[in-house]
Amino acid sequence: MNNTEFILPAPPLPLTPAEEEKLRGRLSGFKGGYDEGYLRGRLAAMNARPEEVPPIRNIHVMYVASGKGYPYSPLDDAVLAALQKLTAQVTITDVRQNLMELAATQRPDLVLVLDGMDLELEQISLLRGLGIRTAIWLTDDPYYTDFTAKIVAHYDYVFTLERNCLDFYRGMGCPEVHYLPFAAHREHYQPTITRSAVQRDISFIGSAYWNRVTFFREIMPDLMTYNTVINGIWWDRLPEAPLYGERIEIGKWMSPVETAMTYSGSKIVINLHRSHIDEVVNNNTLMIPAASPNPRTFEIAASGTLQLSDARDDLGSFYKVGEEIDTFASPQELMEKIRYYLTHEEERRSMVLRAFERTLKDHTYTKRLDQMLNIIYR
């Protein structure tokens, strides 16, 4: 990344072995601090660039929020903020309201529903009867396809964040099914520019689905030799959790801003997707496999840190593996990659910058909602 040399005034000679070791430590510390400052400066410069926003569309969108509260409410914030940049007028409501009554007075051109699991489908049929276009953006594919299969045919446009659900919904007679993953909401996820209050080698933030518990159990002793912290609900499922005290935080939902600060203050963030096979929490009777990246993929990259993700088939469509992020296929490979990147700091920082730049260019909610509107109004 740079070839800066740190030269201290020559100390009195000769040096004892202890003095030599101390001097080497000082030099290493100075260079490490300089390089970290350089990284934060580059991230700050890129983050300060204004986002290019397409021309505003002269349309009125009624946005129907999920109505589920946290953790869906940050998604509502992201979608609403993007729509307000891209369209002439936005009316916000949620699934608990009378959409027909509101539409009769507001006369929107498009009704966009997030999630839609708790929305009375009769309202969508009545809206379509008024000539209003309707679209739904599904939030949890393929994990709840037993439920989504019952609602998708009621909409003009179906957007899914899972590539493997395209043929499933098309096979149900939906004429307009499109692949549109989530993204990074820049107001929530951005790098910490100054020295972060969080200082970790490795972080994982997420619920303790059983595939994650099984995965981490295999490497927990090695993983926790580093400054590693795990946050999320259900981690009392991990039998060894009490051994690590506060380094495994159980039962807490972290806000997006707190999550971003934690990501940014970590040298490496692990992204381990949930499994499409989980009889306890999933409703995916057909066992549709997941090939697409989760929203966390983009949020980690937007926070200015190195991401190690379990390999998913479509991940390479969004980031260059080995250049912008890296992947693992087993617990052992994850540990190998952790050891590598913690001892190859310049390579780690270069990947951080490339992933951050790619995210700002291609993976914001403004980009995603513009893609959606281009499809609906093509």
Per-residue pLDDT of the chain (378 residues; tens, 9 = 90+): 455 555 555 555 677 776 555 555 454 444 556 678 889 999 999 999 999 999 999 999 999 999 888 889 999 999 999 999 999 999 999 999 999 999 999 999 999 999 999 999 999 999 999 999 999 999 999 999 999 999 999 999 999 999 999 999 999 999 999 999 999 999 999 999 887 789 999 999 999 999 999 999 999 999 999 999 999 999 999 999 999 999 999 988 899 999 999 999 999 999 999 999 998 899 999 999 999 999 999 999 999 999 999 999 999 999 999 999 999 999 999 999 999 999 999 999 999 999 999 999 999 999 999 999 999 998
Q: Report d(CA 299, CA 231) in Å as an integer.
A: 16
DSSP 8-state assignment for residue 175: S
Q: Report d(CA 180, CA 173) in Å as an integer.
A: 19
Strands 200-205 and 266-271: parallel
Same fold, 57-183+366-376 and 200-362: yes
- 159, two tokens: 């957007």
Q: Is 191 exposed, middle or buried (0-12, 13-18, 19+ CB in 10 A)?
A: buried
Angle between helices 256-264 and 295-302 (to 10 degrees): 60
Give the start-to-end residue ranges of the domains of the chain: 57-183+366-376, 200-362
Residues pairing with 202 in the sheet: 228, 268
Q: Which of 278, 346, 345, 337 is nearest to 309 (CA)?
A: 337
CA distances from residue 303 to 147, 289, 328 in whole angstroms, order as listed: 33, 28, 21
Q: Which fold would CATH assign to domain 200-362?
A: Rossmann fold (3.40.50)
Reported residue count of the chain is 378
CA distances from residue 274 to 167, 229, 291 in whole angstroms, order as listed: 22, 19, 11
Q: Which of 167, 160, 235 is nearest to 204 (CA)?
A: 235
CA distances from residue 196 to 37, 189, 213, 261, 338 in whole angstroms, order as listed: 11, 14, 29, 7, 21
DSSP 8-state assignment for residue 218: H
CATH class of 57-183+366-376: alpha beta
